[in-house]
Amino acid sequence: MKKILIIGAGFLQSFVIRKAKEMGYYTITIDKNPNSIGFPYADEYGVVDIIDQEACLKFARKKSIDGVMTAATDYGVLSAAYISEELHLPGLKYEVAQIIKNKYLIRRILFKNNVDDISQYFEISNINDIEKISNKIHFPVIVKPCDGSGSRAVKKVNNIKDLNNACKEAIKASLISKALIENFVEGKEYGVESLVYDGEVYILGVMGKYMTSPPDYAELGHFIPSKLTIEEKLKKVAQNAIKVLGINFGAVNMDVIVSKDNRICIVDIGARMGGNLIGSHIIPLGTGIDYMGNLIRASAGDSVDIRPKKSGMKVATRLLALAPGKVVGLPNFERICAKYDVDIYHHLKVGSTIREYHNNLDGCGYIVAVSDDIKDAERRAKNSKELVDYSIKREKI
């Protein structure tokens, strides 16, 4: 029985842990949180900080693993790459993982290779540096931490006056204390999911994204097919980005904004499956491709087959981005699922606090609706989410 190590054991990783076990792999997982949701699903677990690469490697060595992978967490990507390189297992080159962890380095490579339509970018590690570039900047711009995730500290800035504060916040939110400034692109946002294996780049699917309104830029859900008329062009751009960045192995998740005049701007790349049920539900249901299964097999050094096993369906998801409060009564989820023919995955409990929704981490779970008509899937996902929100009994906080 081959042993696979999954880095991270949170809610979203628990789908991967379960899948790997179902597929017959001996499944080991690590996470800093001793109460991780994913631990009970694994054959074995360890309480290890997934940011601490040496500690992760030491653990992996001791367990004589055959493969390592991560899902839905950027922190895990570096550690997984470090382990796979050190132990000569299939994986992303560590050097590439380091680039992918830094949005500025990604941006520089994409720009130099003319991959997309972002035309200006600056890196800031000290707000005194703003002065030097202030006359070069064309507003509006977006400011974000170079190594951020979950849309934290991402801000649109319209003038030089507001730039200082936005940079300060982004630097503060960055583990490497660096912020990226780039063009603000007005348009519709899409997610592109890809798999790299044996030198080939497979673009698995393009999803439309529901987003919050500014000043927050947080995901509210996805739908596939994307309804984007220039989907083929977008796929070529994504493919090119993967090539020039040197991504040699595994899953790639991209956020792309397409402007009204069809400019394509890549705003974010992760060398991992997308979170928010993209890897576990949206791609497999929407394309018929066993995305997670193939990624697990590839990581364990087994052969992959990315041909669709079933025909794709129309899928819409909604994050449980709910009104804030302390939960005193839960809705009857079964009844809501039956009424709208949807699946609900949530981590709500009586007594838990729902925070105002500003980023992914404030979400309380997900709704998945499947149909042969995308409008129908979208409607059921939206209406059932609204009913969940409405039916929760809560106290003010």
Ligand X SMILES: Nc1ncnc2c1ncn2[C@@H]1O[C@H](COP(=O)(O)OP(=O)(O)O)[C@@H](O)[C@H]1O
Smallest distance, Mg ion to C-beta of residue 255, A = 4
Q: How many CA atoms lie within 13 A of 108 on its CB side?
A: 10
Continuous segment of H or E residues that includes residue 326: strand 325-329
CB-wise, 154 or 344, nearer to ligand X?
A: 154
Smallest distance, ligand X to C-beta of residue 248, A = 22
- Distance (Å, whole) CA 117 – CA 185: 10
Residues of this chain that interact with Mg ion (CB under 5 A) are 255, 268
With 0-12 / 13-18 / 19 or more C-beta atoms within 10 angstroms meaning exposed / middle / buried, residue 303 is: exposed
Q: b vs e for 117-146, b when ≥16 Cβ sit within 10 Å of the residue's Cβ? A: bbeebbbbeeeeebeeeeeebeeebbbbbb
Residues of this chain that interact with ligand X (CB under 6 A) are 142, 144, 148-152, 154, 182-185, 189, 211, 217, 255, 257, 267-268
Q: Residue of minimal CB distance from Mg ion? A: 268
CB-wise, 149 or 280, nearer to ligand X?
A: 149
Smallest distance, ligand X to C-beta of residue 158, A = 13
Q: b vs e for 72-104, b when ≥16 Cβ sit within 10 Å of the residue's Cβ? A: bbbbbbbbbbbbbbbbebbbbbbebbebbbbbb
CB-wise, 56 or 106, nearer to ligand X?
A: 106
- Distance (Å, whole) CA 192 – CA 238: 7
Q: Which does 107 bind (CB under 5 to 8 A by kind): ligand X, Mg ion, none?
A: none
Q: Which does 45 bind (CB under 5 to 8 A by kind): ligand X, Mg ion, none?
A: none
CB-wise, 66 or 268, nearer to ligand X?
A: 268
Q: Which does 148 bind (CB under 5 to 8 A by kind): Mg ion, ligand X, none?
A: ligand X
DSSP-derived secondary structure letter, 137 = P
Question: Which residues, in sequence order, are CB contacts of 232 under 8 Å at separation 6+?
Answer: none
Q: What are the distances in angstroms from CA 296 to CA 115, 198, 216, 356?
A: 30, 14, 34, 35
CB-wise, 257 or 289, nearer to ligand X?
A: 257
CB-wise, 31 or 255, nearer to Mg ion?
A: 255
Smallest distance, ligand X to C-beta of residue 173, A = 9
Q: Which does 217 bind (CB under 5 to 8 A by kind): ligand X, Mg ion, none?
A: ligand X
Q: Which does 282 bind (CB under 5 to 8 A by kind): Mg ion, ligand X, none?
A: none
Smallest distance, ligand X to C-beta of residue 115, A = 14
Q: Which does 385 bind (CB under 5 to 8 A by kind): ligand X, Mg ion, none?
A: none
With 0-12 / 13-18 / 19 or more C-beta atoms within 10 angstroms meaning exposed / middle / buried, residue 177 is: middle
CB-wise, 160 or 361, nearer to ligand X?
A: 361
Residue length of the chain:
397
Q: Which does 290 bind (CB under 5 to 8 A by kind): ligand X, Mg ion, none?
A: none
